Structure 1
Amino acid sequence: MPTLTPDSAPGPAPVRAMRPTRSLADPSDGQLAVLLLLPAALLLGLIVVYPIGRLLYNAFFDIRLSGVDAVPAFVGLRNFIDVLHDPDFWNATRNTLLIAAITVPGAFLVGLPLALLANMPFKLRWPIRLALLMPWALPLAFSGLIFAWFFNTDYGIVNDILRRLGFAPVSFLLMPGWAFAAVCLTTIWKTSSFVALILLAGLQTIPRSLYEAAEVDGASKWQQFRYITLPMLVPSIVVAMIFRTITALQTFDIPFTMTHGGPGNSTMTLAMLINTTTIDYLDVGYGSAQAAFMFLISLAISVFYLRFVRGGGDK
């Protein structure tokens, strides 16, 4: 047998360092992150994930609350197929998309000059900024009632002005084209202040030194606006457009209080149709299928915006 010398004798086995266990009183970075995010995750699941999951679940059932012995029955995709063949759904979808296509750019075109005016360097800026807050602070239904009075045929202020100018009064809310235009005008007035406030916040982040350098180089006010203000304001514009588009697809209060979807169904939106189906007709299953399509439309447009933002950030 080979003999072991003191130099070749094996030493003691290395001892692995034991990781100290952390308690909730002294959490690690990962544990602290989980603890901080857990309340938000629970709240998100409670007010977003569960309602959407319940909505999609109800869409596969025939749930009618109009009968005493009504029992939910599984119908598979029948509700979704019926929605696709429903002319009222396509009419409401067309109205909703058209309102969004008109009011979102309209709110931007009105809100941008208001934001530029509120950002001008003069001392009495607070009345302008206060004026921006007032339309945004008013409830949507209250704004709809105000403009319904403005456009009333008999005692509205718009027809009163027309009479004083020698013109015949117009039944704005009783004619499809005029009623739709009145709803869009009211929505633009209500939402342009929100867009202006977001753009105003973006304007205040632009360094003043950029404008001073442009003035030294002889740039005009239009050139400063085109090559400094607009490019620096793109992130704020995108954020404002995302929020405005999503809320435009959910338009309910203003057309409901002004026209109740009429005359006919000319101002009926998806949100109003879903409310009529579920609240008036008590058809929860079919209304859930309609709401599922509305959710898919909002999701598709949101993904488009996010891809646009990501594409702009990669450039």
Structure 2
Amino acid sequence: MDPSEGVLGLLLLMPTAALLALVIVYPVGRLVWTSFFNLSLTSGLPAEFVGLENYRLMLDDPVFWETTWNTVLITLITVPGALFVGLALALAANLPFRAKWPIRLSLLIPWALPLSFAGLISAWFFHSEYGVVNDVLARFGVDGVIWFNSANWAFAAICLTVVWKTSSFMALIILAGLQTIPRSLYEAAEVDGAGRVRQFFDITLPLLKPAIVVALIFRTITALQTFDIPYTMTRGGPGTSTATLAMYIHQSTVDFLDLGYGSALAVVMFALSMGVTAVYLRMIRTKG
């Protein structure tokens, strides 16, 4: 390659590299640096470098472990749930109907709703006195549930809401993957005598793996950062039984103004997100 071409390539990449450094590298670096300081705006004292002290305090903090476990549990429940529901919705939207737009529009509505608005709607749905869910249960002769007075029921309501809200996102990505599968493969499989089930496992599912992995990466990262829905539905209650790591970060930094400890919590969440992304990318390379 001509050296001048290499120099030209570097010059063309410099604006993008500068933008990435400004938007990603500097904020993350600043976050990590702040996590090494005792910086509380309520104390009135200047920032003091304490090294790994915030991380040591984190290890002895029961609220950190509880919120981290809640975050991991939400991820383990809602990511597979959204994947299965989204896959079913995408397959339904890909059926040869004459008018597909009502089905595809129904996929866009949950995805387009703001997260906080979805949480407020669901809080009303699961209300113990005038909620829709308890009204439906009563019509079938089942006693209503006081959803938000029990840690388990409140957690279940949050997970159901997250699955409903995020399955449409999964469905849209999977539907885009379905559109790329050539129809000729199914026609050849029909000639060979393959039924619908075998076509799904031998053609549809293998060719959908790239789209599914991309959907899982985005959904898992957002699940680890879950904040809006549990915050608007339960405020983390009862107690801290439904609080997530993102909510604890918000409480530490915004409510308590402890920027050093809140930054350390945010670094942990960032590390979790990057670790999950690395695992998915390794899976892609291995399968490739």
- State the TM-score, normalized to the length of structure 1: 0.88
From the two aligned structures, give the one with the greater helix fraction. Answer: 2
Question: Which of the two has higher C-alpha Rg?
Answer: 1
Q: How does 1:5-16 map to 2 (within 5 A)?
A: none
Partners of 2:230 and 2:273 in 1: CA distance: 19
Distance between the aligned counterparts of 2:88 and 2:191, measured in 1?
Answer: 25
Q: Which stretch shows the higher mean deviation, 176-185 or 35-44?
A: 35-44
Give the alignment partner of residue 45 of structure 1, picking from 21, 27, 30: 21
Question: Matched residues in 1 for 2:163 and 2:139: separation?
Answer: 27
2:73 corresponds to 1:98: yes
CA distance in 1, matches of 2:170, 2:10: 35
Q: What are the ranges of 5 or more consecutive residues in structure 1 without an aligned counterpart?
A: 1-19, 23-27
Match of 2:114 in 1: 139
For 1:306, which of 278, 281, 287 is the aligned residue? 281
Q: CA deviation at 1:171?
A: 0.7
Cα distance in 2 between the residues matched to 1:163 and 1:210: 49
Q: Distance in 2 between matches of 1:277 and 1:92?
A: 13
2:135 is aligned with 1:157: no
Count of residues paired in the alignment: 287
Look up the match of 1:60. Answer: 36
Moved over 6 A (4+): none
Alignment match, 1:226: 201
Q: Is it true that 1:294 corresponds to 2:274 in the alignment?
A: no
After superposition, residues 89-128 of structure 1 pair within 5 angstroms as 89-128=64-103
Q: Paired residue for 2:217, among 242, 256, 259?
A: 242
In the alignment, the residues of structure 1 paired with residue 161 and residue 265 of structure 2 have an alpha-carbon distance, to the nearest angstrom, of 26
CA distance in 2, matches of 1:274, 1:159: 33
Aligned residue for 1:71? 46
Q: 1:263, 1:30 → 2: CA distance?
A: 60
CA RMSD of aligned residues (A): 1.4
Taking only the aligned residue pairs, the percentage that are identical comes to 61
User: Unpaired runs of 5+ in structure 2?
Assistant: none
Q: Alpha-carbon deviations, 1:24-60, whole Å to 9, x = none? A: xxxx533443343222222211121111100110011
Structure 1 residue 120, shift from structure 2 partner: 1.3
Letter in 2 for 1:184: C
2: CA distance between counterparts of 1:122 and 1:157?
Answer: 31
1:258 pairs with one of 204, 216, 233 = 233
Residue identity in the other structure for 2:12: L
Partners in 2 of 1:163 and 1:117 — Cα distance? Answer: 31
Cα deviation for residue 80 of structure 1 reads: 0.7
TM-score (norm 2): 0.96
Alignment partners' CA distance in 2, 1:110 and 1:40 = 37
Corresponding residue of 2:192: 217
Rounded to whole Å, the distance in 1 between the matches of 2:17 and 2:86 is 34
